[in-house]
Amino acid sequence: MTPVAIVILLVVGLTLLGLELFVIPGFGVTGVLGLAALGVGTALAYTDLGPVWGMLSGLLSLAIVVAAVIIIPRTRVGRRMVFEQSSRDVRAYPTHAVSEGQRGVTVTPLRPTGVARFGAQEVDVVSDGEYIDLGVWVLVVRLEGARVVVEPEAEQTSESA
C-alpha cells in the first residue's frame, strides 16, 4: 500500500474518533471504525514502511487522541461540552418535609397514593396498599427513598394538622 493511502487511513481514523468524542454522543460504530482505521493504518505502516514508521504513526495517533482528550476540555469551547459538576455530592432523593411518626391529614383519598398535609406542608404519600379516605388522620410509618409511607391513625380526632 502506498504511503499516501496509509496517511489517509490514519487521518480518517482520527477524524472518526474526533467525531465520536466531540460530536456523536456515546461510543458506538463511529468510534469502533475510527479505532479500527487507526489500527489498520498503523499495522500497514509497520509492514509496508518498516518498524520505525509503524511505531511513529502509532505513537503520533495516540498522542493526538490523548492531547484532544486532555487539552480540548480546557478550552472555552471544550468547557461547554464537558459536564463539570460532580454527581457524587447530589442527593438521589429529596429531603422530606416530614419524619417518621409525624401526624397529618389526607387532602386527597389515598388509592393507595395521594396527598396529605403535615402542618402547612402538603406531601405526596402512599399507603401500604389500603385505601384511605379524604380527611383521615395518618401517621408516617417509614420513609423509603422518595416515598413517604403512611397508615391511618388508630384514634381519629378532630384536631387540625
Report the pLDDT averaged over residues 141-155. Answer: 88
Please give the pLDDT value at position 72. 74
pLDDT at residue 155 tops 60:
yes
Q: Which residue has the cell 479500527?
A: 36
Please give the pLDDT value at position 32. 85
> CA 20, CA 4: separation in Å to the nearest integer?
24
Question: CA separation (Å) from 43 to 62, 93, 130?
Answer: 14, 51, 68
> CA 10, CA 61: separation in Å to the nearest integer?
8
pLDDT tens digit string along 1-48? 788 888 898 899 888 888 887 777 666 788 888 888 988 998 999 898
Please give the pLDDT value at position 54. 86
Please give the pLDDT value at position 93. 46
DSSP character string of the chain = --HHHHHHHHHHHHHHHHHHHHTS-SS-HHHHHHHHHHHHHHHHIIIII-HHHHHHHHHHHHHHHHHHHHHGGGSHHHHHHS--S-STTS-SSPPPS--TT-EEEESS-BSSEEEEEETTEEEEEEESS--B-TT-EEEEEEEETTEEEEEE-SS------
pLDDT tens digit string along 103-140? 999 999 998 899 999 988 899 999 988 899 999 999 99
pLDDT tens digit string along 72-102? 777 777 777 665 555 555 444 455 678 899 9
Please report, for the chain, the start and end positions of each structural domain, with discontinuous segments joined by +: 3-81, 103-152
Cell of 27: 461510543
Q: Which CATH number is associated with domain 103-152?
A: 2.40.50.140
